[in-house]
């Protein structure tokens, strides 16, 4: 039996994969190392969504390859040659091959490189797991998506949509709750197209999960806005359930319809405007999070202006900002690229506007009194979330998974601060 070190990067789905890899390792009789230097074998669950991220993965791979190494996640699937170049002896485990985890670890421990990149997992529901946060159950509901966005390398790694069955997911959520979780994240590559390949959809899944009789909260993960017109009416009803955090992450990417067309996003900027507007009208202080890419190859100054206008109009609470970078194997990588200095200038502009909006939106919460679920230990403080999934920090000591009534006294662009009132 060996000591195994596992580190993970990327989206919630990637962290969910790392929890399952660790669960399979422990189930297989191995133990977990506290540090790579203490390990017999290292596992890195990679993300390759952006150039900067891929560079960081390569840096980590170089540091971890002094021991037997398994490179998992999106990078080995999207850029096999890149991983082989920097760590030719490393074994490779794809994001949809988790069932092969033990086989690949034991082969690598014996000094035999093994490659498992085929999509062999029928489902990821019901696998053993070691949670990164005991209060939060990250439940993958599907893998892959139904889009062909021209900038996206994740599509190469995760492939076509494969939704897991509603019944299996409900069973998994019950397991998470039985194991002590008070918060459930329903996550996948694109929640918007969940179930469209198996004759169901996201609102139906949410309704089934919400029916579970227990005191827990649900966070619905990222969804491409292109599916909103199709599911919005039902989704609004599903969100009426008090278990649902009044929060949605809807990556719009650009305010220019021409750029969205060149990105093959399948939606217009108005779909995002309308969706954030409708949810905010229905639910008081609903939190809208979005992603913006600046510097996409075909983005002109005028297109960029349309993105700024859309941001000013919709005032998203959170903007995850990316500078476009050409990812290997994507269609956009073959387009004429924009000067990097222009991309940096545009990203600085969006960053300043986004910071100002986040700060002003959080200021609106000063004086608010209400319930907070404390769900995350960060350093020596414990962070909570209110009904709108706003991060709340208090000075008082609170137990993980507990709920307390809090009064908000201060806000920054990152979150809310307050004290417990009952
Ligand atoms: S929806 Fe688009 S950006 Fe998202 S994973 Fe699929 S192809 Fe990539």
Tell how far the Cα of 149 is from the centroid of ligand 1, in angstroms. Answer: 6
Which ligand 1 atom sits closest to the C-alpha of 153? 8
Helix (H) and strand (E) counts in the chain: 13, 19
- Phi, psi torsion values for 143, nearest 5 degrees: -135, 145
Looking at residue 295, its pLDDT comes to 98
Q: What is the CATH number of domain 246-362?
A: 3.30.750.200
Which ligand 1 atom sits closest to the C-alpha of 193? 1
Looking at residue 115, its pLDDT comes to 97
Integer Cα distance of 127 and 121 in angstroms: 11
Integer Cα distance of 166 and 162 in angstroms: 12
Tell how far the Cα of 155 is from the centroid of ligand 1, in angstroms. Answer: 6
The answer to whether the beta carbons of residues 108 and 114 sit under 8 Å apart is: yes
Q: What angle do CA 148, 153, 155 make, to 5 degrees?
A: 45
Integer Cα distance of 394 and 371 in angstroms: 13
Integer Cα distance of 68 and 112 in angstroms: 9
Q: Return the structure tokens found at 302.
A: 């005028």
Going by the DSSP 8-state scheme, the letter that residue 276 receives in this structure is: H
Looking at residue 379, its pLDDT comes to 80
- Let me know if the fold of 3-116 is the same as that of 246-362: no
Which ligand 1 atom sits closest to the C-alpha of 146? 6
Looking at residue 277, its pLDDT comes to 98
DSSP string, 290-322: EEEEE--TT--HHHHHHHHHHHHHH--SEEEEE
Tell how far the Cα of 263 is from the centroid of ligand 1, in angstroms. Answer: 10
CA nearest neighbour of 8 among 116, 126, 124, 132: 132
Mutate to test the pocket of ligand 1, among 50, 96, 140, 224 (most ligand atoms within 8 A of CB): 224
β partners of residue 417: 393, 410
Tell how far the Cα of 145 is from the centroid of ligand 1, in angstroms. Answer: 6
Which ligand 1 atom sits closest to the C-alpha of 152? 8
Looking at residue 279, its pLDDT comes to 98
Integer Cα distance of 243 and 239 in angstroms: 8
- Compute how many other C-beta atoms are within 10 angstroms of the C-beta atom of residue 340: 12
Integer Cα distance of 141 and 77 in angstroms: 21
pLDDT in tens, the chain (422 residues): 899 999 999 999 999 999 999 999 999 999 999 999 999 999 999 999 999 999 999 999 999 999 999 999 999 999 999 999 999 999 999 999 999 999 999 999 999 999 999 987 767 888 999 999 999 999 999 999 999 999 999 999 999 999 999 999 999 999 999 999 999 999 999 999 999 999 999 999 999 999 999 999 999 999 999 999 999 999 999 999 999 999 999 999 999 999 999 999 999 999 999 999 999 999 999 999 999 999 999 999 999 999 999 999 999 999 999 999 999 999 999 999 999 999 999 999 999 999 999 999 999 999 999 999 999 988 888 899 999 999 999 989 999 999 999 999 999 999 999 999 98
Q: What is the CATH number of domain 3-116?
A: 3.40.50.12160
CA nearest neighbour of 387 among 245, 239, 238, 285: 245
Q: 8 in helix, strand or coil?
A: strand
Residues 369-420: name the CATH superfamily.
Nucleic acid-binding proteins (2.40.50.140)
Q: Per-domain residue ranges for the chain? A: 3-116, 246-362, 369-420
Integer Cα distance of 199 and 213 in angstroms: 25
Tell how far the Cα of 147 is from the centroid of ligand 1, in angstroms. Answer: 6
Integer Cα distance of 164 and 187 in angstroms: 11
Mutate to test the pocket of ligand 1, among 12, 145, 250 (most ligand atoms within 8 A of CB): 145
Binding pocket residue ranges, ligand 1, CB within 6 Å: 145, 147, 149, 152, 154-155, 189-190, 224
β partners of residue 143: 162
Q: Give pTM, 2 decimals.
A: 0.95
Which ligand 1 atom sits closest to the C-alpha of 224? 1
């Amino acid at each position: 039996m060996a000591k195994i070190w596992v580190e993970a990067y990327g989206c919630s789905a990637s962290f969910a994969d790392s929890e399952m890899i660790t669960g399979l390792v422990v189930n297989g009789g191995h133990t977990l190392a506290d540090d790579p230097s203490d390990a017999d074998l290292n596992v890195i669950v990679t993300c390759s969504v952006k150039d900067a991220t891929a560079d960081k993965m390569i840096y980590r791979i170089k540091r971890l390859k002094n021991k037997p190494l398994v490179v998992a996640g999106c990078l080995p699937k999207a850029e096999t040659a890149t991983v082989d170049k920097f760590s030719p002896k490393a074994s490779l485990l794809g994001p949809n091959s988790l069932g092969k985890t033990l086989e690949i670890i034991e082969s690598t421990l014996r000094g035999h490189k093994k490659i498992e990149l085929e999509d062999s997992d029928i489902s990821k529901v019901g696998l053993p797991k070691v949670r990164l946060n005991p209060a939060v159950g990250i439940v993958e509901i599907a893998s892959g998506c139904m889009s062909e966005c021209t900038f996206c390398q994740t599509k190469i790694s995760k492939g076509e949509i494969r939704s897991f069955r509603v019944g299996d997911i409900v069973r998994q959520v019950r397991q998470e709750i039985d194991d002590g979780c008070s918060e459930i994240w329903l996550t996948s590559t694109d929640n918007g197209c969940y179930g469209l390949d198996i004759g169901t959809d996201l609102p139906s899944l949410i309704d089934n999960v919400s029916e579970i009789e227990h005191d827990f909260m649900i966070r619905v993960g990222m969804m491409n806005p292109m599916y909103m017109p199709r599911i919005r009416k039902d989704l609004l009803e599903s969100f009426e359930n008090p278990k649902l955090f009044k929060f949605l992450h809807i990556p719009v990417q650009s305010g220019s319809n021409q750029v969205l067309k060149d990105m093959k996003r399948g939606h217009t900027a108005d779909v995002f405007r309308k969706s954030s507007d409708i949810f905010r009208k229905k639910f008081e202080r609903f939190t809208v999070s979005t992603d913006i890419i600046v510097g996409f190859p075909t983005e002109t100054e005028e297109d960029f202006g349309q993105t700024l206008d859309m941001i000013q109009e919709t005032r998203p609470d959170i903007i995850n900002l990316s500078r476009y970078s050409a990812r290997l194997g994507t269609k956009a990588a073959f387009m004429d690229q924009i000067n990097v200095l222009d991309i940096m200038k545009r990203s600085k502009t969006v960053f300043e506007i986004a910071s100002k909006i986040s700060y002003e939106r959080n200021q609106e919460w000063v004086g608010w009194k209400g319930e907070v679920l404390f769900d995350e230990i960060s350093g020596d403080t414990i962070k909570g979330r209110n009904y709108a999934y706003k991060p709340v920090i208090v000075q008082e000591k609170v137990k993980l998974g507990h709920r307390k009534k809090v009064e908000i006294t201060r806000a920054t662009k990152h979150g809310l601060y307050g004290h417990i009132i009952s």
